[in-house]
Amino acid sequence: ILYTSGTTGRSKGAMLSHDNLASNSLTLRDCWRFTKDDVLIHALPIFHTHGLFVATNVALFAGAKVVFLPGFDADAILNAMPAATALMGVPTFYTRLLADARLTKERAAKMRLFISGSAPLLVDTHEQWEARTGHRILERYGMTETNMSTSNPYDGERRAGTVGFP
């Protein structure tokens, strides 16, 4: 049972089966091309479905390595980036990293995937990120009650301001 405030502000339990969570994670692993060769920078809170069931489970099902940070720390993320391949974050991660001059194409050269979710990513942030790093952020949408529902494609167009196809 995962707890969510949904749109009402009052906590309620959403029941998801282990099969539901596993199926979702295996699908995301395949869609986002995670493998044992990946190194995920994980700075999301594990009390939230994004940190616990998306980031952690996708990496575990892939056999990937995880650089597990206790929270968002721009220094730690930027220091980990040259040896990592993926980062899952919320839009605030990306705006804070854009505010740091150390974020460059060279620092992000080994990275293959930046994923954003849990809140809408502004088109401006998406465009600035691509200009600074050469990477287009993959935005996706999910909620505690369903886990992941939609995702921009790994290959093909990642349209800023959208969360892809269902």
Q: What are phi and psi of 107, to 5 degrees?
A: -65, -35
Q: Which of 65, 73, 162, 72 is nearest to 121 (CA)?
A: 162
Q: Which residues contact 57 (CB under 8 A, 6 or more apart)?
A: 21, 22, 24, 25
**What separation, in Å, do the N-terminal and C-terminal C-alpha atoms of the chain show?**
24
**For domain 2-151, which architecture applies?**
3-Layer(aba) Sandwich (3.40)
Domain ranges of the chain: 2-151
Q: In this predicted structure, what is the pLDDT of residue 49?
A: 87
Q: In this predicted structure, what is the pLDDT of residue 6?
A: 66
Query: Contact at 8 Å (CB) between 164 and 140?
Result: yes
Q: Considering the entire predicted model, what is its pTM? A: 0.93
CA–CA gap between residue 128 and residue 40 (Å, rounded): 22
Q: Which amino acid is at 125?
A: T
**Pairing status of strand 138-143 against strand 147-151:** antiparallel
**Pairing status of strand 12-14 against strand 39-42:** unpaired
- For the chain, residues with pLDDT lower than 50 are none
